[in-house]
Amino acid sequence: MIHAKTEEEIEILRQSSLLVGKTLAEVAALIEPGVSPLALDKIAEEFIKDHGAHPAFLGFHGFPNSLCCSVNEQVVHGIPTSKPLENGDIISVDCGVYMNGYYGDSAYTFEVGEVTPEVKKLLQVTKECLEKGIQEAIAGNRVGDIGFAIQQHAESNGFGVVRELVGHGLGKNLHEAPEVPNYGKRGRGVKLIEGLTLAIEPMINLGTKEINQLSDGWTIVTKDKKVSAHYEHDVVVRKGKAELLSTFEYVEQVLAKKKERVN
């Protein structure tokens, strides 16, 4: 069953989602060659707890860390390791918090040093896929409209769309109905109602859409070992235009400052 949230619930969800955005910004400030995903994880955990919240992923079905850090061909659910990031890597950082009884969940894929033009294009297109999906999250549309918009944009640029992993409803539980696939047909699937809160999260591969799971039971990788990008926002379904609960604003302010320092 899907259910709309009250305006009070939406405000609490917004606070959780904004804390995720601020946590991702703390992480963004540190990402560079030589830094390990495990170091990023420790910073995120401390920051979340200092703000009176709990890292949503820590212990979730046994997950051992606060962040999912997925490097290069890792699609999602990467377990943070002590292996330092290298110039030219990309890292998807997925973060969740639990605060005041509600979850926030957002992800951003970062460049480490200088990445190749084709990888830059993948990140740009994946972000555009997220925007196009969000544009379809309006009352009266269906889940398939979101998936169709994402799939069409990714595949028209020659990229693979992961099928087995999906976005989801969000609220008192980290994963609620409905599932929000990143592929689909217009007019198909669950009808979107006003006040429904969703986490929309395109996972787009440079090569094939095919994936494998590593023996750790968590990490998902591309079958062809080409890189994968992942962005995620929390939104409220509204009439006419979806409303963002999460934000990349804090992250992008940090990235802009880092770019200024380099230049």
Ramachandran region of residue 57, left (φ > 0), alpha (ψ -120 to 50) or beta?
A: alpha
Share of the chain above pLDDT 90, in %: 98
pLDDT in tens, 121-143: 999 999 999 999 999 999 999 99
DSSP string spanning 175-213?
SEEEEE-SS--TT-SSBP-TT-EEEE--EEESS-S-EEE
The answer on pLDDT for 146 being more than 90 is yes
Nearest residue to 65 via CA among 75, 46, 79, 86: 79
The answer on pLDDT for 263 being more than 90 is no
Q: Taking residues 146-166, report their average pLDDT.
A: 98
Domain boundaries, the chain: 7-262
pLDDT in tens, 4-35: 999 999 999 999 999 999 999 999 999 999 99
The tokens 């039971």 sit on which residue? Answer: 217
pLDDT in tens, 172-200: 999 999 999 999 999 999 999 999 999 99
Q: Taking residues 203-214, report their average pLDDT.
A: 98
Q: Taking residues 40-47, report their average pLDDT.
A: 98
DSSP string spanning 122-168?
HHHHHHHHHHHHHHT-BTT-BHHHHHHHHHHHHHHTT-EE-SS--EE
The answer on pLDDT for 235 being more than 80 is yes
The answer on pLDDT for 250 being more than 80 is yes
The answer on pLDDT for 253 being more than 80 is yes
CA 53 – CA 45 distance, rounded (Å): 10
Share of the chain above pLDDT 70, in %: 100
Ramachandran region of residue 77, left (φ > 0), alpha (ψ -120 to 50) or beta?
A: left
pLDDT in tens, 88-123: 999 999 999 999 999 999 999 999 999 999 999 999
**Angle of helix 143-156 relative to helix 117-135, nearest 10 degrees?**
160
CATH 3.90.230.10 fits 7-262, yes or no: yes
pLDDT in tens, 48-72: 999 999 999 999 999 999 999 999 9
Mean pLDDT estimate for the chain: 98
The pLDDT score that the predictor gives to residue 262 is: 79
